[in-house]
Chains A and B, each alone.
Chain A
Amino acid sequence: QKEVEQNSGPLSVPEGAIASLNCTYSDRGSQSFFWYRQYSGKSPELIMFIYSNGDKEDGRFTAQLNKASQYVSLLIRDSQPSDSATYLCAVKPGNQFYFGTGTSLTVIP
């Protein structure tokens, strides 16, 4: 069963705070993990990918992966109103990508 679970939210954080987005997956064979941002009416935009356990940082974004717990998260530091969007978690156990339903994030000025 290749399922990706995300809290649909909405998640609201004040501007400048840290936003924490979480994702769990069921397929232990998953090797690649992705976070996409999707603005309303637009297509998904790749933010980060991670393959190894631990943390990966890119600017204000940090992805965290724990394969033993089948858990991947995204931290957004110094959240900005422009970060308000739906964040999609995706996993890739083989050739297919499996997406969660997304978490809606609102950053309040």
Chain B
Amino acid sequence: QVQLVESGGGVVQPGRSLRLSCAASGFTLSSFAMNWVRQAPGKGLEWVAVISYDGNNKYYADSVKGRFTISRDNSKKTLDLQMNSLKGEDTAVYYCARRATITSFYFDFWGQGTLVTVSS
């Protein structure tokens, strides 16, 4: 069965960096675009970034552009999110989510999330 397992969350000071990972299993990762979506405590969902199936195309929300970098290693079946210059407003649960098909825009599988807390 499809599984997405995030890791790497924790408490980090403002201005510092953190790297999140998402381990994929139960499907062929190289066939799917992958996303990061976050949710601040008590708030709604916010799309963060997407990477194409082959890693050649990447897009970011304006709120993280220039600070976050999405990447993938299909051979290792992992998706990463490098987060630099972290701010308090980046505090959230970060989910990796699979884009279901190339012809539509929805997320059919989600990980359980990893919490990032930016605080001094």
A complexed with B:
no
Which B residues are closer than 8 A to A by beta carbons? Answer: none
Which A residues are closer than 8 A to B by beta carbons? Answer: none
